[in-house]
Chains A and B, each alone.
Chain A
Amino acid sequence: MTEAVDWSRRARVCLSKALLDALAGGFDNGLDLYTRYIDTTTLIDSDLCFAGLSRFGLANRTLIAENQYVNRNPAAEPAHWSILSEADVNRAGAMTDCLVVLFVYDPATSEGLFPDRVDNNFWLNTVLESDKKFWLWHDSRPRHIQRAENGPEKRVRAFLATSGRARQLYELDVDRLADFEARAHVWFSETPGPAETACVSVSSFGGDYLAAIDHLLGRKNDNDVDDDDDGEDEIRQLQDFYLRDRSLLHKRWAKQVGSCVALLAYTRREGRGSSLASCHSNKKGRLPVGMRFSCLAIASDMSSDDSRRDFADHATPEAAVVCFYGQDYVCLMQDPWRSLALAKHLDTRGLAQKLLNRTDLSEVPKKLPDAVVREAEKKRDERLEKERSKKRPKGEGGRRPKYNLKKRCRCEACKSAKYVKNMAKAGPDKLCTTPYTVSELLGLLGVLDDAAKSTIAQMVQLSVAAMDIESRTFEVDLEGPRPGHLVEYPEIGGPILEGHVFKAQRPIMIGHTDALTRRRGEKWHDTVKDDSPQAVYALFARYWLKVTQLREDAAKEKAVLAEKMMDLSSRYSQAYIAFSNAWIETSLIEREHHHAGRAEELKRLKEEDRLDEDSYNSLLEAAFNSYFKSDEWSMPTLGQIGTAFRNTLPGLLQTRLGNLIRRYVVFNFYG
């Protein structure tokens, strides 16, 4: 490679698209690579409208190009793929079968835009001149495992991104990668600066990583080697650390580092937006932005128990952290980065810690305890309520309006506790539950035979009535007898109805029928005495009296019909109350026995001078409280027993029968 090309076309293309374009070797362009990426990695539900992506695969390229990649605007970041995401870059690298290495250079404001094509030495010279403005940003090599020792090495592609207002992306010559690594700034080492001065070079130890770490930790090969230290001669590849025996590693450096040493490989400096600009935020008194590592090994005292396990949960706060920077440099991390790395990447909290402390997960319960679930549900409800209250529009003066939460409906369904629980405060929400009917309850009790069905049918028939009203049309008084408000006079129409209403209807006759009256052969109807409104009122008063009377008659009839079923329920009730009383009596005797026994024991202890007066009194009171005031020994009242019975099937039957007896529904023929 003779010259480096600017893939961002002088900052006209955003960094993510520029990198996609650069990586798209085997693909047509960056869009093609992006389309493949979306097609292979995006999980789409079949019931979403977006399912066109999965159904048509690559055929629906237009949708991806227009909506997700935003092809018309090169400066716009594509959706679901970003150069700022470590995983995204790694996945794109895997798709193009290469390992991506990214550097960042932070130019001075005066430097402006860099040219489209620059000589290979341009960037080396530039970063050589700059001071602490060039660093390794992304390195996917530590997590690459070379399977065959003599197999072909995976291709490495290196890029340099400029930060600041104009972001450009250049591909670097891989042959010069070692030079760039040497000049990349290491801000977390003991002596911050370029890697060649701040770090120890592994190549200066013949490529032996262990020897380089020995030097870094101050271990002298001649004196410190134990007789039984065998098998840890040298490591020539980073990947060999992953499966190396931790106990031998710890034994090797125990004298120098004490309890624990963590070996990390730098993979990424987390960057989002403006944080690309500088890695020196600690100058402003703030902690640096996040870093990501691949954990090569954690060797601690615990390693002797399980030589192949990383005891991340036992990494002590004072652990030494050795960090590899690129392939050739290694340094000792310093605070605050050392403790940050330990806390952020090695410290395991919560579930992870619990899991790591186990040898395997077979004993991990599949179901959470009920108390935990209840607590979580309670917290969720509180959170949801908080969110709902935030979403409600604010009334005047910044106060949230109070809704009228009182329900006016008194029907059986709305009175159900389950229904109330499922109602949101602002209105009906989720689920409407209905109670068991009489026939269902009889069926559940096993007594629903044909006779019972016939009885229920008769009771229902007696509960239904019908009425009709005959009316006559009359002229509407549009104006009062005299102008002004001297006399209150009802007026219909006026400006509200724009004078369209001239006529209205007034009831003159009413008729009513139900099963009982039909059986008796009665025909009830009533008419107004004259044409006045008072006569209409008197008509309805008489009608209402008639209806209440007919309702009472029907209720008496239904009570006779339901006698057998009520008897059944009463027998259940008596048995239930008798059992409850017997249980309470037994419990009272038991409670008295326990209390007396305890009091006697305390008395004996006092007589033996094993208890002083105060202790005796307090223990006696505690005993009294534990037997007579605690929930464990509390006895139900008669009312509570009654409530409990009403929630049983016979109790529900009694309630429903009572409701059916009282119910009298009048239909009319007005739609």
Chain B
Amino acid sequence: MSSSAPDGKYAERGETRSGRRFAQRNFGHYPSLRHLEAAHPRLLQLEAPLSQRGFRIGVNRGTLVQATLRFSTRHPNIRAGLLDHFAQLFQEHVEDTESGFEVVVTFNAALSNAQSNSFSVFYGHDFRANNVAGAAPELSHSTYFVRTLGDVGRLPVEFNFEELAEAHRHAFEQSGVHIAKFLSVVYLVYRYVPPVRRSRLALTANRRRRLDQPPRP
């Protein structure tokens, strides 16, 4: 419900109850990189906790699990962090013959205009319709397949951010902005989990239950 101020003007989002909560999110531009970093302390943490989301595919067609791993560009040992998170994932999702994790690498970056007086965050984890496996097409890096824990060693952990910025210099040309600084590396991890089938144990129990019933006359 929209609320209006006594003077007749519509209140800013930040004045409503939910607006206060999301005010910071609504304020997207900062006059300097320092201000931007001060407003996003959690984004600049060395390592974010492992988060997982499940998406149902159709009706009884299984689930797509997406895990997001985020590491700051200042992280001293991304490989160890990745190994830890993937060990956790492999504990939760059994390592078997024909499955694994598809890993999409993308980045979060600070963008700036030509005058360098306006800075904003660009998130590589994208929810727009034209995303590339969940990553923003502007900042998608590459895709890998991790079947065993040993395959974690193949994931890229060292990046030359100057070259990366140079490679992506045309990505935001139409918006008149450029990448000022890479903030974090984001690994989007996907796994398809097939629908749960009735276990043989349950079937056996049902059969036994039927056998226990008296025969029909």
Contacts and interface: CB of A to CB of B under 8 A. Distances in A.
Interface in B123-158: 142-145, 147-154
B31 to A, nearest CB: 38
B84 A82 contact: no
A83 to B, nearest CB: 11
B92 interface: yes
A272 B91 contact: no
A94 B150 contact: no
B97 A273 contact: no
Given A94-B92, A147-B81, A243-B153, 13 more contacts: A45-B56, A87-B91, A143-B149, A144-B91, A147-B84, A243-B150, A246-B150, A292-B94, A309-B154, A348-B98, A348-B147, A352-B98, A361-B143
A145 B92 CA distance: 14
Interface of B: 54-56, 63, 79-81, 83-84, 87-88, 90-100, 102, 142-145, 147-154, 196, 199-201, 204
Contact of B87 (A80, A93, A144, A355): A144
Contacts of B153: 242-243, 308-309
Contacts of B98: 348-352
Interface of A: 43, 45, 77, 80, 82, 84, 86-87, 90-91, 93-94, 140, 143-145, 147, 239, 241-243, 246, 272-273, 292-298, 306, 308-310, 312, 344-345, 347-352, 355-356, 358, 360-362, 364
B87 A43 contact: no
A602 to B, nearest CB: 53
Nearest to B200: A272
The 3 A-B residue pairs with the shortest CB-CB distance, nearest first, are A308-B153, A361-B143, A43-B54
Given A87-B91, A272-B200, A310 B151 contact: yes
A294 B90 contact: yes
A43 B151 contact: no
Contacts of A355: 100, 145
A139 to B, nearest CB: 11
A250 to B, nearest CB: 13
A164 B149 CA distance: 35
Contact of B83 (A43, A90, A239, A361): A239
B7 to A, nearest CB: 39
A352 B79 contact: no
B102 to A, nearest CB: 7
A351 B150 CA distance: 19
B148 A243 contact: no
Given A143-B87, A243-B79, A295-B149, A86 B154 contact: no
B204 to A, nearest CB: 6
Contacts of A297: 150
B133 to A, nearest CB: 8
A90 B199 contact: no
Nearest to A273: B201
A94 B52 CA distance: 14
A93 B145 CA distance: 27
A312 B145 CA distance: 12
Contact of A242 (B96, B99, B147, B149): B149
A309 B204 CA distance: 42
Contacts of B100: 352, 355
Residue of A140, A143, A147, A347 ringed by the most chain B CB atoms within 10 A: A143
